[in-house]
Amino acid sequence: MTRLIVWRHGNTDWNAQARVQGQTDVPLNDLGRRQAVDAAELLVRLRPTAIVASDLSRAADTAAALAALTGLTISTDERLRERHFGEWQGHTMAEVAAERPEEHARWTAGEDVIGGGVETLEDLGKRVCDALQAAARLAPPGGTVVVATHGAAARSGVGHLLGWGREQLRTLRALQNCHWVDLTHDDSRGWQMAAYNVGVLGDRPVPPPV
């Protein structure tokens, strides 16, 4: 059985401002760096055999906190980047809702955004799913791979991997900063989700299943 941990990056100033990051390379803030260290102290217990990250710094630097504890080298994959939000990037969601109400309404409804250069959900899900499958192949038998990526990317990529439809995917809440999805794969059952939105809440650790 292969175990795949899909880990969202830590907090950034743009997260705190509800500003659309997309593929803009926004760094972790002090809170995000602390979150990465706290989460890494839980994830190291899973004895990961490989770490893969989006090449955007907020994900790569989150992964670095785990690499520091494991001694593993981080592989980067640009397919793990966040959804490209086109002309929305750099604007707050309140600004998008006010200035681009039709596009925002489609996004809120879980539909593809028409206009604004926003990446489609199908394209997003497929590219991240391809990256997750490539990451899983790095694991030896019984190994665990940790993948550091982004919120929308994680949800769509995992949904695509599990074969979920768009409506089913909408039942999942967004991943919190530095929380993760726990997936397993074997030849008889394929991909299965073991846990979702696992992480550290405040000062109270929520341990991953073992």
How buried is residue 190: exposed, middle or buried, by Cβ count under 10 Å (0-12/13-18/19+)?
exposed
E strands present in 56-189: 74-76, 144-149, 180-186
Q: Which residues are catalytic?
A: 9, 82
Compute φ and ψ for 8, nearest 5 degrees. Answer: -80, 145
8 is in an annotated binding site: yes
Average pLDDT, consecutive stretches of 10 residues, N- to C-terminus, the chain (210 residues): 97 97 98 98 97 98 98 98 98 97 95 94 97 97 96 97 93 95 96 95 44
10 is in an annotated binding site: yes
* Residue 82 neighbours by CB distance under 10 Å: 27
Residue 181 tokens read as 């999805």
Contact at 8 Å (CB) between 93 and 20?
Answer: yes
84 is in an annotated binding site: no
Q: How far apart are CA 56 and CA 32, in angstroms?
A: 14
Asked if the 2-84+120-198 domain carries CATH number 3.50.50.60, the reply is no
pLDDT of residue 200: 83
- Residue ranges covered by each domain of the chain: 2-84+120-198, 90-118
pTM of the model: 0.93
pLDDT of residue 67: 98
First vs last C-alpha separation in the chain: 13
Q: Which residue has 């925002």 as its token pair?
A: 104
